Chains A and B, each alone.
Chain A
Amino acid sequence: MTPTLHEDLQLQVRDLEIAVVSGAERKPVVKGISFDIRRNETVCLVGESGCGKSVTALAVMGLLQTPPMRIVGGEILLRAGEEVFDLARLDPRGRAFRRLRGAAVSMIFQEPMTSLNPVHRNGAQIVEVIRRHTGLGRRAAWQRMLEMLRLVGIPSPEVRARQYPHELSGGMRQRVMIALALACRPGLLLADEPTTALDVTTQAQILTQIRELSRSSRTSTLFITHDLGVVAQIADRVHVMYLGEVVESGPVREIFHRPRHPYTRGLLASVPSIESEPFSRLTPIRGTVADLPENPAACPFEPRCESGFGLCRGRTPPLFEVSTSHRSKCWLEQEGRP
C-alpha cells in the first residue's frame, strides 16, 4: 500500500513514538506526537531542552542513533516530488532513504563548530551533496556551490570555498551548512536550533537568511528552537512540545495572543517582550522538566501546573480542539469548564 498525503501537505507525522531501547528496557522519548507541515510553510517546534525535538527531526532524516534509539510506532509521511514515502517504515541505511536524504529532506544542525568535516574544504563538502543527487559534473557542481555560498551571504565565495572549516567563524560555518542543506533544493528543511550556538547579531542574520531562502526556494521548514523570540520572527504555525508530546498547536498569532495550555502560558510569561513593563518580573515555570507525576496516567505537566485540578491527577488529557486550527492537550478545554 502506498501511503497517501493530503495535497497541501509536505510532511505529516502521525502518532510517532521513539524510544531508547537497552536490552528489554524501553524508555520512551517521543510519545505519539502528531503534526504536519504544509507546502512552503515554516512550522516551529518549541519546548525546553530534552523534550525530544532533535530526536523527532533526526527520525525524519533517518539519522537516529540506532541502537539505542528506535522508532517504535507511527508514520512519517514525506512528499518527494510526485511521490509520498513513509519514512518510519523505510530502512534508514537503505538506498531508497539515501536517495531522499539531502535531496528531498535535509537538515541544519545545532553545532556549527563541529558539523563540517575538518579535513575537507568548505566548497568540496557542498559539491559532494550536489554531485550525489543532481548528476551535475564537477565544474557545474562547483558553480552551483559558489552560487549557494553567495545566496547565504558569504563574501568572496571563491576564497571561502577553498578554505577549511577552521578558517571560518561559527556564523560563517553555519552559513556553509545552510548552503549545503539547501543545495539540492529540498522540499523540506529541518533546522535544529541553527542559531542557538551563535551570538545575537549573527543569530538575527542567519534567521533572516533561512527565512528568505526557504521562502524563495519554496521549501517547507521545520524550525526547532527553545527561543520564543525566534518563533515570533519566523513561524507560520507552532507546535509546543513537553516531555515527548505535543501539548499545543496553532497559528503563531493564536499561540502568542491566546495561548491555551498552561505550559505555553508559562513559557510566554518567562520571556521578556517589547510590551512588558520595564523592570517587571519574569515568571519562571516552577519545577524542572524532570518532574514527573506520581501517577503515570496523570497529565504529564501536572506537577508543575498552576491550574491543575482533580481530573488532571487521574487521567491524561486528550488533544482538545480549541478552534479549527488550534489544539491544546489540557482538561481546561473540556466542554462546560470555564
Chain B
Amino acid sequence: MLELIIRRTLNVIPICLVVFTIVFCLMRIAPGDPATAMLGDYASAEAVQSLRQEMGLDRPLWSQYLDSLRGLLHGDLGRSLSSGAPVSDQIASALPETLALAASSLAIGLLLGVPLGIVTAVRRGRPVDHAGRLFSLSGLSIPSFVLGILLMLLFAIDVPIFPAIGGGRSGDLSDQLLHLALPSLTLGLIMMAYVTRVMRTSMLNVLQEDYIRTARSKGIGELRVVLRHALPNCLVPLVSLCAINVIVLISSSVMVEIIFSRPGLGRLLISAMRQRDYVSLQSVLVVYAGIVILVNMTADLLYGVVNPRIRSR
C-alpha cells in the first residue's frame, strides 16, 4: 500500500512537467503580451520594448523556458510580472481558500446527496422519489453562476444571514466560515445533484443483485439490508463520480470565486490571464493540474478500500 502511494506520488512529477511545458508553449502562442497589458494600448513602442527587456521577455524562448523550469524545480516560482510579488506567496494564500471551498462543497454534496439517493431508490416511484429526481435534475441543469447569484440574493440581500462577498478576515475562523457558507452551498447543491443521481441509480442496481436476496433470506430488517449489504456495494461508482466531479468542482470554483469575490486560486488565475502574467499563470495552472492528479490518486486508493476485489490484487 505504502509503496503504491510513493510510486503514485513520484508519477505526479513528470505529469506536472508536461503540463508546465504545454502551458508555457500555449501562453507564448496566445496573442497579447504582459508589457502591452500593463502599459495599455497607447504606450509607445519603445516603452513596451524596454519593459519587455526588463521582464526578460526579449530573451530566446528556450532560455526563458529553462529558467522557469529551473526555478520550478527549485521551488522558486518567480515573481508576478504584474505586481512583482513572489508567485509562491500568492499561491500559498489563495490555495487554502480554494481547497476549503472544494472540500466543504464536496462534504455538503455527499452528506445530502447520499441519503437522498438512498431514499429515492428505496421509495422508487413514490412521491419522495419524484421530488428528489426533480430536485437533482434542477441541480444538474442550473449553471453555478446563476445558482450563486440566486443564493446571494436570497441569503445575503433579502434575508441577510450570510455575507455576500469576500473571504472573511484572515485569522478569524468563524468569519471565514460565514463567508464560506454561500459559495460552498452553491457548489455543494450542484455536487449533491450529481451524487443523488449516481447514488439512486447504483442503489437500484445493487438492490436487484442476488446477494441482496440472500441478505433478505436471513430474516434481517430492510434497513440493515440497505445500509449494510447494499450501500457498501454502491461506493465504487460513488468514488469514481466524486473523482470526476471534484475536477468539475475545482473548475466551477473559478466562477464561484469570481461571483463571491473570494481570494482563491480562481481569482488569481483570472487576473493573471487578464494581465498576461505568464509567470503567475503557469504556476497556477501547474497547481490546478497537481490537484487533479492528487484527486485521481486518492480515488484510486479509495477503490481499494471500498472494494475487496481490488484490494487483494
Between A98, A117, A120, the greatest number of chain B beta carbons within 10 A of the residue's beta carbon is seen for: A117
CA distance A177 to B213 in the complex (A): 12
Q: Which residue of A99, A111, A164 contacts B210 across the interface (Cβ within 8 Å)?
A: A111
* CB interface residues, B 210-246, toward A, < 8 Å: 210-211, 213-222, 229, 232-233
Known: A118-B211, A118-B233, A119-B307. A101 touches B218 (CB 8 A): yes
- Tell whether B308 is near chain A: CB-to-CB under 8 Å: yes
Q: Per-position contact with B for A119-132: 1 when CB-CB < 8 Å, else 0?
A: 11000010011001
Q: Per-position contact with B for A98-123: 1 when CB-CB < 8 Å, else 0?
A: 11111100110101001111111000
Nearest Cβ on chain B to A117's Cβ, whole angstroms: 4
Chain A contact-residue range equals 20 to 34
- Tell whether A63 is near chain B: CB-to-CB under 8 Å: yes
CA distance A27 to B307 in the complex (A): 40
- Tell whether B172 is near chain A: CB-to-CB under 8 Å: no
CB-CB nearest in chain A for B214: A115
Give how many B residues have a beta carbon under 8 Å from the other chain's beta carbons. Answer: 21
CA distance A119 to B118 in the complex (A): 18
Nearest Cβ on chain A to B203's Cβ, whole angstroms: 14
B220: chain A residues at CB < 8 Å are 98, 102, 128-129, 132
A177 touching B214, Cβ below 8 Å? yes
Q: Per-position contact with A for B273-313: 1 when CB-CB < 8 Å, else 0?
A: 00000000000000000000000000000000011110010
Known: A93-B222, A99-B219, A117-B229. A166 touches B309 (CB 8 A): yes
A116 touching B211, Cβ below 8 Å? yes
CB-CB nearest in chain A for B309: A166
A101 touching B211, Cβ below 8 Å? no
B211 touching A114, Cβ below 8 Å? yes
A114 touching B218, Cβ below 8 Å? no
Nearest Cβ on chain A to B253's Cβ, whole angstroms: 33
Nearest Cβ on chain B to A160's Cβ, whole angstroms: 14
- Tell whether A133 is near chain B: CB-to-CB under 8 Å: yes
B306: chain A residues at CB < 8 Å are 119
Q: What DSSP secondary structure best describes chain B's contact surface?
A: helix
Q: Which residue of B219, B232, B312 contacts A100 across the interface (Cβ within 8 Å)?
A: B219
CB-CB nearest in chain B for A116: B211
A128: chain B residues at CB < 8 Å are 218, 220
A164: chain B residues at CB < 8 Å are 308-309, 312
- Tell whether A191 is near chain B: CB-to-CB under 8 Å: no
CA distance A141 to B233 in the complex (A): 25
CA distance A184 to B211 in the complex (A): 19
Nearest Cβ on chain B to A258's Cβ, whole angstroms: 37
- Tell whether B158 is near chain A: CB-to-CB under 8 Å: no
B211 touching A115, Cβ below 8 Å? yes
B214 touching A101, Cβ below 8 Å? no
CA distance A304 to B94 in the complex (A): 80
- Tell whether B3 is near chain A: CB-to-CB under 8 Å: no
B233: chain A residues at CB < 8 Å are 117-119
A166: chain B residues at CB < 8 Å are 308-309, 312
A100: chain B residues at CB < 8 Å are 219
- Tell whether A291 is near chain B: CB-to-CB under 8 Å: no
CB-CB nearest in chain B for A98: B219
CB-CB nearest in chain B for A92: B216
CA distance A129 to B306 in the complex (A): 23
A133 touching B211, Cβ below 8 Å? no
Nearest Cβ on chain A to B165's Cβ, whole angstroms: 45
- Tell whether B46 is near chain A: CB-to-CB under 8 Å: no
- Tell whether A212 is near chain B: CB-to-CB under 8 Å: no
Between B209, B211, B213, B214, the greatest number of chain A beta carbons within 10 A of the residue's beta carbon is seen for: B214
B211: chain A residues at CB < 8 Å are 114-118
B215: chain A residues at CB < 8 Å are 117
CA distance A180 to B209 in the complex (A): 18
A61 touching B217, Cβ below 8 Å? yes
B219: chain A residues at CB < 8 Å are 97-103, 129, 132-133
CB-CB nearest in chain B for A119: B232
- Tell whether A306 is near chain B: CB-to-CB under 8 Å: no
CA distance A106 to B222 in the complex (A): 17
A101 touching B217, Cβ below 8 Å? yes
With A109-B210, A164-B309 known, 20 other A-B pairs at CB within 8 A are A63-B217, A98-B221, A100-B219, A101-B219, A102-B219, A102-B220, A106-B217, A109-B214, A114-B209, A115-B214, A117-B215, A117-B229, A118-B211, A118-B233, A119-B233, A119-B307, A129-B220, A132-B220, A133-B219, A166-B309
11 A-B interface contacts by CB (under 8 A): A98-B219, A98-B220, A99-B219, A100-B219, A103-B219, A109-B213, A109-B214, A111-B210, A115-B214, A119-B306, A177-B214
Name the 6 nearest CB pairs between A and B, nearest first.
A101-B219, A102-B219, A114-B210, A129-B218, A102-B218, A117-B211
User: What is A's interface to B at a CB cutoff of 8 Å?
Assistant: 61, 63, 93, 97-103, 106-107, 109, 111, 114-120, 125, 128-129, 132-133, 164, 166-167, 177, 180-181
User: What is B's interface to A at a CB cutoff of 8 Å?
Assistant: 209-211, 213-222, 229, 232-233, 306-309, 312
